[in-house]
A and B are shown apart, each in its own frame.
Chain A
């Protein structure tokens, strides 16, 4: 069965600090991986996705993530955060031969202005 683990429940950073949010998954096959963002009171929106090819994926708003197959990880990074990045971030995994998409528990990111 597939599962996703996000290590950080709440991260607090100052503006311009660098960000890395951890995500590890469990699945015994080829995967598709996603990072979604949920701004307060809103629905989930896709930040970036990995299906195949270059393991370093660039998304919207300056975010990127790196798929490291040997570590079953897909960590999210941003070199310099802004106050507007305050939100909850969800990592998700889908087995490439299945339809089910499972989400991690989320990481709440708070940015101090």
Chain B
């Protein structure tokens, strides 16, 4: 049963500490998304990748957040330094996007279980 795997599931950290969240997309998927969910802002798109290349990270505070895909099986979202306002659930999702080449192969985004981050 293919699924997106996120670690850790829960993270409590002190303000100022570095936080790294990891995501293993479904094998064969070529797009990876990072979303942040809070009560106030709902589900915000932070960054996304296609074929490991970052396409848009305009939703991310650049001074403290960074997103990378070191290889096709790992995506990371890093916050340094973390702040209490970063407390949220962070979801990773992956999908297959072949664009207009073979649109019938395109899929929806499959979500991981999320990382619940609490910064105190």
Binding site for B on A (CB under 8 A): 32, 34, 36, 42-46, 49, 51-52, 90, 92, 96-97, 99-106
Contact = CB atoms under 8 A, between A and B. Distances in A.
Interface string B39-65: 000110100101000011000000000
A43 B112 CA distance: 7
A102 B45 contact: yes
Contact of B35 (A32, A42, A103): A103
A103 B43 CA distance: 7
B43 A100 contact: no
Interface residues of B, number: 26
Contact of B43 (A32, A51, A90, A99): A90
Given A51-B103, A51-B106, A103-B43, A44 B48 contact: no
B82 interface: no
B70 interface: no
A100 B111 contact: no
B118 interface: no
Contacts of A90: 43
Contact of B91 (A44, A52, A97, A99): A44
13 contacts: A44-B91, A44-B93, A45-B111, A51-B106, A96-B100, A96-B103, A99-B99, A100-B48, A100-B55, A101-B48, A101-B93, A101-B95, A106-B43
Given A46-B108, A51-B106, A99-B97, A105 B45 contact: no
B109 to A, nearest CB: 5
